[in-house]
A and B are shown apart, each in its own frame.
Chain A
Amino acid sequence: MNNINVALVGQPNVGKSMLINTISNSKLKVGNFSGVTVDKAEVDFKYCDEKSCKDYNIHIIDLPGTYSLSEYTIEERVTKNFLQNGEYDVIVNVIDSTNLERNLLLTMQLLELGKKVVVALNMSDEADREGIEIDEKQLSAILGVPCIKTSAVKSLGVDELKSAIVTVVDKHKSDSKVVYSDTIEEEIEKIVSFLSEKNYKSDLCYEKLAVKLLQEDVIIYKKMHDEPIWIELLPIIRGALTHIYLHYETKDLEDIFAEERHSFARGATLEVQKVKITIKENLTQKIDSILIHKFFGIPIFLFFMWSLFQLTFEVGSIPMNLIDKFFVALGDGAIAIFGDGEIGSLISDGIIAGVGAVVMFLPNIMILFLGIALLETTGYMSRVAFLLDGFFHKFGLHGKSFIPLVTGFGCSVPAYMAARTLKNEKDRLLTLFIIGFMSCGARLPIYVLFAGAFFAQESAGNILFLIYISGALLGLVAAKVLNVVVFKSEDEPFVMEMPKYRLPSMKLVWHTVWNNAWMYLKKAGTYILAASMLIWFASSYPKYPLIEESYQTKIKLASNQESKKVLENEMNLELLENSYLGIIGKASEPLFAPLGFDWKMTVALQTGLAAKEVVVSTLGVLYALGDEVSEEDNFLVEQIRKNIPFASGVAFIVFVMIYLPCLAASMVFVKEAGGWKYLGYLFVFTTVTAWILSFIAYNIVKGFS
């Protein structure tokens, strides 16, 4: 059995993923490239070649789409790095047949690597429809590598492609050739003839080696620098470069070779491509004239966004409630089986409640990712960036930041994941850092509680609106500040392809949705499970049997149900006060004293790190009402009004608006940002900002009242 490793390379939007799906029906293995959040898809399948009657194990690795072998984005770096240092037998270069000239620029760079190459002229059905005819035999003769017409959608040319891969791999060496202008070819010839006179031993063929020398390829220079041949080679290279500089009137070699690639791509395209029909405006351009219209573009987009949002949080709340009920029932069941003791409490309040909190977000995440996958695969996402970049760029953000930011109003967990659409690392990190400023749905109960306690019923709605809006504005200001202070680097250029509008492949969309859902469950699930057990532990230990006992006897002696309940609450309050969480809360009270928070508010804030919903129930416990309270509980509202000064209440709202979102979100943040240290930065950044702004709010309000 022969093993063949294939590296699948192509520019973005050439239908690579689709092609890999058509080539093999086996399951895609999806993971990450080590150390970076770049998706890596691999597939294994068996292939029996009819010509040679040999069986092959073919392994395809789908490299991230890249416009050229440069190091602009993480994806490009990953691809370049793999092509230079990875282990593979052949490159399959997937080309969009409707865009031959631009795609050939990358092909040239691939050929220069000196590896075996097969070119797949994909989307040939689309080219046919657009009246573009490509003579693949002629192209194959020019490039020296097999060129196969394929169509992933129509499953055309797949067998030919497989057979070409096998044939190329079985050959001894690559016959690929890149033709340069006469000036450069002349110099290449000189170097080649010198190398062959010297009978120099090289893995790379002489022509490719000569090109790399002329391109001042660092790796080759390093390697040859220590060899004896270098002394004689050097003057030849120097002479060659002088000639080239003279001819091109520049010493910028990258410029020179870019020009070479462009003229080659232009020339080759002219030679092999015939355009039979000239359409003045294709469908994409027609759609664009509406969707990115100067005035209608943004309203249309806002409508799409609104629909997606409604879908995510309205439709998503139905399964969410079911999941919630299921886990509550499961927790009760666990208590019934394991008893009320420590094991029962750990399983029910620690493990089941923690996992339940994670699984609950799943419907949201799946619907939102369905929406995002549709936006991306149809090609609309780039238009969104086009429309909104003008506004967001003012704050150092990117047009595409809009979607994760708006999602943040619903829930930070999917919002962090949605930031993946930002390909540039700086844009993504900046967006990730300010998503928390968009107040998520879970903070609403806290706002409702405090707005109800301190403001008249009629104005509570306006106050809520004010809270949300000022959060968003603060986020934009924070982005600007971070951009100036932390991410000092100059703006990355914004040059982006607006791909053709295409109907999405349902198989591919489902694949994306499922993958994201699964990764969320797997990664976040394990961490959150551990962390929720930790919080359960901190709030229920150390145990005080004496306190419990004395209350239990009191409860037994109590005359009626009501006083029993009061006593039970008092017991819970005292236990929580003396638990590790309470101890930490009390210890950190002085830190929050300048904001007007007492230890109860401090503890409530700290439990809010687990989940914002917990803040309200903690306040319920702390004000001795039991934990079965809701934000609409009039008694709690009254207690808060009585016990918390107005200024402290305002400061509390401000703090909740800004500080770290819940545990689940923090774990997802770690994964998306690419390291624990970022969570550290985020924690410091949000907490310090929250503290300072709360302090200001507290003192202003106190001064007025």
Chain B
Amino acid sequence: MNLAELEKGTIGTILKINAGKDLKQRLSSFGIYKGTKFELKAISLGGNTLELKVGNSLIALRKGEAQKIEVEYN
């Protein structure tokens, strides 16, 4: 399942990022990497953007990017 399918408040782990080099690298520098634990803090109206808590930081993503991130929730 991918990140865009989760509901607000879900806690989970990132399994895999199916993206090109640039996006992968960008996500990685924000600490979003396979094995990273996260909490889905907020989803905007229409589900177009979402806010992730990773470590001690909050990261915003577009739905399009979130769909490329495979996750599992616990």
Contacts and interface: CB of A to CB of B under 8 A. Distances in A.
State yes or no: do A and B come from one complex: yes
Interface of A: 67-68, 70, 72, 98-99, 101-102, 105-106, 254-255, 258-259, 262, 284-285, 288-289, 292-295, 297-298, 382, 385-387, 389-391, 393, 399, 491, 493-499
Contacts of A289: 42
B45 A295 contact: yes
A386 B30 contact: no
Contact of A288 (B27, B29, B42, B55): B42
A387 B58 CA distance: 15
Contacts of A285: 41, 53, 58
Contacts, number: 122
A99 B57 contact: yes
Sort A-B residue pairs by CB-CB distance and give the 7 closest, nearest first.
A390-B48, A68-B29, A498-B58, A67-B29, A102-B31, A494-B62, A493-B23
7 contacts: A68-B29, A72-B22, A99-B55, A106-B29, A292-B44, A389-B48, A494-B62
Given A258-B33, A288-B42, A390-B46, A496 B59 contact: yes
A385 B60 CA distance: 9
Contacts of B22: 70, 72, 493
Mostly, the B contact residues are mixed
Contacts of A70: 22, 25-26, 29
Please classify how large the interface on chain B is, using the bins under 10, 10 to 19, 20 to 34, 35 or more: 35 or more
A493 B62 contact: yes
B56 A496 contact: no
A68 B25 contact: yes
A356 to B, nearest CB: 43
Contacts of B31: 101-102, 105
Q: Which of A259, A284, A294, A295 has the most CB of B within 10 A?
A: A294
B71 interface: no
A289 to B, nearest CB: 8
Contacts of B60: 382, 385-386, 494-498
A288 B41 contact: yes
Contacts of A496: 59-61
Contacts of B72: none
A285 B49 CA distance: 17
B37 to A, nearest CB: 11
Q: Which of A67, A102, A293, A387 has the most CB of B within 10 A?
A: A102
Contact of B25 (A254, A298, A391, A498): A254
B62 A294 contact: no
A499 B33 CA distance: 19
B4 interface: no
A72 B23 CA distance: 9
Interface in B1-41: 19, 21-33, 35, 41
A293 B51 CA distance: 11
B7 to A, nearest CB: 12
Contacts of A495: 23, 26-27, 30, 32, 59-61, 65
B26 to A, nearest CB: 5
B25 A101 contact: no
Nearest to A385: B60
A206 B29 CA distance: 27
A298 B23 CA distance: 28
Contacts of B46: 390
B59 to A, nearest CB: 6
